[in-house]
C-alpha cells in the first residue's frame, strides 16, 4: 500500500489564540497590550479577542512571536518574560509540533493591580454602555423601520385603491360618453336623412309642376299658331301657296 502524503498548516490566528490562552495565568502579567484579560477572578474583562497584542510568523516547522505586555508594578520583569517564553513554547509545541524559535517581549506599561483593575472596569463599563446604547439604537431603528414600512404599505394600498377607483370611474365616463355620442350621431344621421328625403320630394314636386306648366304653355302656343295658320289659309282661297305650321309654331310658305 502506497504512503498517503499530507500536510498540516496553521493560520496565524490559530497560533495567536494558543499564545493568548497560554498567557492568561502568568503571575505578574496584567495584560497583553490592548487588553484581552486582566487576571481579575480569572475572567476576561475587556475583550473576547485573545489575539489582541499578539503578532506571530508561522513557517512550515517554526514559529516566531512578538508580544506587547503590561506588567504588574513591583514584579520581576525578566522572570515574567522567561515564564512567557516557556509557557508559549510548551503550548505551541504540544498542540502543533511546531518549534518556537523566537518570543520577543515588549513591555509597554506597568501598573499596580488596583490601577489596572480600575482601568479595566472603566473600559468594560464603556464597552457595556456602548453595547447597551448600540442595542437601544438598533431596537429604535428597527421600530422606526417597521413603522415606516407599515406606513409605506398602507400608503401604497390606499393609493392603489384610489387608482383602481379612478380608472373604473374614467372607464365608466368613457363608456357613457361613447354611448351618448353614438346616440347623437344616430339622431343626426336620421335627421339629415329625413331632411334630404323631404328636400328631394319637394324638388321632385317642383320639377313635375314646372314640367306640366311648360308643357301646357307649349300646347297652348302650338294651338295658337295652328289657328293662325288656318286663318291664313282660309284667306287665300285661290292661292297655290301652301302654309305649313312647323314644330315650333311658325308658319312656313311652300311654293
With helix as H, strand as E and coil as C, how does the chain read? CCCCCCCCCCCHHHHHHHHHHHCCCCCCEEEECCCCCCCECCECCCCCCCCCCEEEEECCCEEEEEEEEEEECCCCHHHHHHHHHHHHHHHHHHHHCCEEEEEEEEEEEEECHHHHHHHHHHHHHHHHHHHHHHHHHHHHHHHHHHHHHHHHHHHHHHHHHHHHHHHHHHHHHHHHHHHHHHHHHHHHHHHHHHHHHHHHHHHHHHHHHHHHHHHHHHHHHHHHHHHHHHHHHHHCCCCCCEEEECCCCCEEEEC
Domain boundaries, the chain: 12-111, 114-219
pTM higher than 0.75: no
Per-residue pLDDT band for 120 (boundaries 50, 70, 90) equals low
25, 28, 33, 39 alpha-carbon torsion, rounded to 10°: 40
Per-residue pLDDT band for 139 (boundaries 50, 70, 90) equals confident
- pLDDT, position 15: 92
Q: Which of 4, 14, 8, 16 is nearest to 60 (CA)?
A: 8
What pLDDT digit, counting tens, does each position of 33-73 carry? 754 443 333 333 344 455 557 889 999 899 999 999 999 99
> Is domain 12-111 annotated with CATH 3.40.50.960?
no
Per-residue pLDDT band for 14 (boundaries 50, 70, 90) equals very high
Amino acid at each position: 500500500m502506497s504512503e498517503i502524503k499530507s500536510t498540516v498548516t496553521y493560520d496565524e490566528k490559530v497560533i495567536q489564540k494558543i499564545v493568548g490562552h497560554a498567557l492568561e495565568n502568568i503571575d505578574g502579567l496584567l495584560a497583553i497590550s490592548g487588553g484581552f484579560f486582566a487576571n481579575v477572578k480569572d475572567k476576561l474583562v475587556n475583550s473576547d479577542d485573545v489575539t489582541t497584542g499578539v503578532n506571530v510568523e508561522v513557517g512550515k516547522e517554526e514559529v516566531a512571536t512578538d508580544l506587547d505586555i503590561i506588567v504588574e508594578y513591583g514584579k520581576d520583569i525578566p522572570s515574567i518574560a522567561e515564564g512567557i517564553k516557556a509557557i508559549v513554547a510548551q503550548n505551541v509545541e504540544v498542540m502543533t509540533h511546531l518549534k518556537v524559535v523566537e518570543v520577543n517581549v515588549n513591555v509597554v506599561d506597568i501598573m499596580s493591580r488596583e490601577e489596572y483593575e480600575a482601568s479595566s472596569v472603566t473600559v468594560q463599563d464603556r464597552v457595556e454602555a456602548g453595547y447597551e446604547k448600540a442595542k437601544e439604537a438598533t431596537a429604535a431603528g428597527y421600530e422606526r423601520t417597521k413603522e415606516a414600512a407599515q406606513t409605506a404599505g398602507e400608503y401604497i394600498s390606499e393609493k392603489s385603491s384610489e387608482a383602481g377607483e379612478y380608472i373604473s370611474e374614467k372607464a365608466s365616463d368613457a363608456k357613457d360618453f361613447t354611448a351618448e355620442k353614438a346616440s347623437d350621431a344616430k339622431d343626426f344621421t336620421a335627421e339629415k336623412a329625413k331632411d334630404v328625403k323631404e328636400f328631394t320630394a319637394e324638388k321632385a314636386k317642383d320639377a313635375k309642376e314646372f314640367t306640366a306648366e311648360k308643357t301646357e304653355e307649349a300646347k297652348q302656343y302650338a294651338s295658337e299658331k295652328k289657328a293662325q295658320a288656318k286663318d291664313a289659309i282660309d284667306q287665300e282661297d285661290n292661292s297655290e301657296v301652301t302654309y305649313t305650321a312647323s314644330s315650333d309654331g311658325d308658319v312656313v310658305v311652300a311654293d
